[in-house]
Amino acid sequence: MASRCIVKIICVALFASMIAAPMFPAFAQSVVPIDSNEYHEADQYNQMQDWEASTHPSKSLEARIAELEAKVGESEKAKKKLPNVTVNGVFQADAVLFNQTPENRDAYGSIENGADFRRARLSAKGAVADNMNYFMQMDFGFFGRPTFTDVWVDFTDRPVLGNVRIGQWKQPFGLEVVSSFRYTTFMERSSLFQAFTPFRHLGVGFYDHAQDLNSTWAMSYFRTGQDQFGSSLSTDGGNGLAGRLTHLLLHDGAKGEDFLHIGAGYYLNSPPRGTARFRSIPEIFVGEFAPGGVGTSGQAVPGVLNGTPFFVDTQSIVNVDHVQTFGLESLWVRGAFSLQSEGMAAVVDQSIAPSSTFRGAYTQAGYFLTGEHRPYDRIAGAIDRVIPKCSFGKCGGIGAWEIATRWSYIDLNDNLINGGNMQNVTGGLNWYVNPYCKCVFNYIHSWVDGHDFFPSSTNVAIKSQADAFAMRCQLDF
């Protein structure tokens, strides 16, 4: 339909030029007036022949229309060539230094300094039909090496549900979960992330957004307790349900630099074999794989992973019927300033003990010294990519510079369960070299009221502190 409209417009333009051509002054001057005494029939005939030759193409109009239709059709076919694919990649090179108090060293052992590739991913995305998209991503830096991350297929524009997804992806719960790590302010998500959120699981779900782009909603059913390769085995439990609803209370500014986002999430988990565990690291991680088995070649295969330990940990909680987690989120952006916050509470129902409630919250603020703002994806209800006003090296640009701070708190103590509690304060400096590369510095200070899980098993409560100094270079394409 679009191609025929284009052709009709071109035809009208050609016809108009044919009618208007005699009105041009150059043509009028070449024609002898009818009332002139010098009028000759032969001259008029020759002039008319010249005019027809100048205004009529060598090809007939019908032939030119057919040719244009063919070209437009080929162009549209090229745009819709299916299946198609786009390859993307990202890596993060990190270095981390630790400083521990004697009490912290007694509780968790000596945490070693290190450097590693926190993530190294390759992905392929595209479409196989007008209403079917796909995404496949592997991580060569995470546990498992390589490890499945997102592997899914989308059935788009479905009645009532909007878009239906099947596979493994980040389940709809929390702003930090659904936002890409590429765009987060700090090197690691907050301490709430590992303890309370479902993150990636294999399942089926749907998502959509309002036509005015002010609201989003999503819901999914999935398997819980799976390994790093998307696999899950459990007849007793192992099922989960998650949902998220967001709304823009305010959206102003020509470039989306002034908005207020709020959201709520719910996560129901019937854990596999009735066992659940809640734990979190001090908002930074670095590690290495220890040597594993050695064959006749003398080259060891990767073994267990050593690295930053969990500072708070409930250990395994048994006889759990289900866990209900509730979450609230907000993000306010006012020009170069941003304020982001989330709070979560997990209610653990046990068949042989009273219910326990674990809780946590974080608040972070950021400010762009160079005048940029934190972008927002209105279709996903998530944080988007920062675009420097002038990238480094272009027209004398220095990229985008941001300072940020975060406070977080997590409490895993309640009733008979003593997983400890932890507060973290993080200071950050981000340099966005260009839209696809950034360099980050984070300083993290942790206050822990934890337990002596290392090196003994006395489970004695210990108050301690620790510092971490971390740097990262990130590139994605």
- The CATH fold of domain 88-291+300-476: Porin (2.40.160)
Close Cβ partners of 90 (under 8 Å, ≥ 6 residues apart): 119, 120, 121, 182, 474, 475, 476, 477
> What are the 10-residue block averages of pLDDT along the chain, 477 residues in total?
48 46 42 42 51 52 75 66 95 98 94 96 96 96 82 96 97 97 97 96 97 97 83 89 97 87 98 96 93 82 86 96 98 97 97 95 98 96 96 89 98 94 98 98 96 57 94 97
Looking at residue 384, what is its pLDDT? 97
Q: What is the CA radius of gyration of the chain?
A: 32
- Quote the CA–CA distance of 45 and 319 in Å, as a whole number: 104
Chain Cα centroid distance, residue 163: 17
| Structural domain spans, the chain | 2-78, 88-291+300-476
Of 429, 442, 435, the residue nearest 399 (C-alpha): 435
pTM of the model: 0.81
Looking at residue 153, what is its pLDDT? 98
Looking at residue 78, what is its pLDDT? 58
Q: Is 220 helix (H, G, I), strand (E, B) or coil?
A: strand
